[in-house]
Amino acid sequence: MDTAQHVEVLVIGEALIDIVESETGTVEHVGGSPANVALGLGRRGVDVALLTQLGDDERGRAITQRLTESGARVLPESTIGHPTSTARARLAADGSAEYEFDIAWDALPPVALVPRLVHTGSIAAFLEPGASSIRDLLARTGAADVTFDPNIRADLLGAHDEAFAAFEAVSRLSTVVKMSDEDAAWLFPGRAIDEVLGAVLALGPRVVAITQGAAGATLATADDRVHVPPVRVRAVDTIGAGDTFMASLIHSTLARGGTTPDRAALERMGADAVRAAAITVSRAGADLPWANELD
């Protein structure tokens, strides 16, 4: 008898508190790119579990409550001995954000889950000793898909060569890689979007997507490249927009069951992700859309 616990999506990575400073004051939001992705999937009705690292403190409990209320599970292995991590975000007049982090990322424990898809990324994919344990887990997973969003935070990554090696290692284990144009510029300085898409596809993923802010997004497979125009909204801030795009891309990938999309499917995946991200941009904080808002 199969006694393993199955889950649609296992998300691995940091959960933290965004301390957002703007002209109107300071407010705290639950954040962390992987945690936002888990929250977004939970709000879409996906069976999703998050493996992260939370302190036994008020901020850690706030993160767990927020994710639980959104339909995501925080695994019990996520409780650790140091305080819950924070990111201080300073908003500019155009809604863009600059971050200052207070985060630690330890080695991860084994988890007795059988996922259909594993997602990771952001600080967790680069910061040791946790990053190495993520790569070990990805190498052993039997999941049909592995998705990856590097979500580059240059101030935390140290030397470019070391960070790029970590990016390549995770990308080689992935079937879907999503980046922002800023991520692409940092990882592949001086190279055009089309060149970056080709370089990442050569590492092995079936699908690579690069978001381009107000210019939309470009998605590629070995056979097709499509550009998806933006959805125009009044931007409040950009916090969580890329994570919303990623959650939508994961949702579409689950529906495909480990197959490569054709051109029409790639266009639909991109259009759905851009539309979802536009909802998040139109409101404050990482307030990712619910399923009924996307229907």
4: nearest Cα among 110, 111, 114, 109: 114
Residue-level pLDDT at 2: 46
Q: Tell me if 167 sits within 8 A of 148, measured CB to CB.
A: no
pLDDT digits (tens, 9 = 90+) for 144-170: 999 999 999 888 888 999 999 999 999
The pLDDT score that the predictor gives to residue 95 is 65
Number of Cβ within a 10 Å radius of residue 25:
7
Alpha-carbon span 200 to 220, nearest angstrom? 10
For the entire predicted model, the pTM comes to 0.92
Task: Look up tokens 């004051």; give the residue.
Answer: 25
What contacts 108, CB < 8 A, 6 or more positions away?
12, 51, 77, 130, 133, 134, 137
Tens digit of pLDDT at every position of the chain (295 positions): 345 688 999 999 999 998 878 778 888 888 899 999 999 999 999 999 999 999 999 999 999 999 999 999 999 999 988 899 998 877 777 767 677 888 889 999 888 889 999 999 999 999 999 999 999 999 999 899 999 999 998 888 889 999 999 999 999 999 999 999 999 999 999 999 999 999 999 999 999 999 998 899 999 999 999 999 988 888 777 778 999 999 999 999 999 888 899 999 999 999 999 999 999 888 877 889 999 998 7
Q: Give the chain as a DSSP string.
A: ---PEEEEEEEES--EEEEEEETTEEEEEEE-HHHHHHHHHHHTT--EEEE--EESSHHHHHHHHHHHHTTPEEPGGGEESSPPPEEEEEE-TTS-EEEEEE---PPPPP--EEEEEEEEEGGGGTSTTHHHHHHHHHHH---SEEEEE----GGGT--HHHHHHHHHHHHHT-SEEEEEHHHHHHHSTT--HHHHHHHHHTTS-SEEEEE-GGG-EEEE-SS-EEEEPPPP---S--TTHHHHHHHHHHHHHHHHTS----HHHHHHHHHHHHHHHHHHHTSSSS-PPPHHHH-
Look up residue 249 and give its two tokens: 């891309």
pLDDT at residue 4, as a whole number: 64
Q: Domains of the chain, with CATH numbers? A: 5-287 (3.40.1190.20)
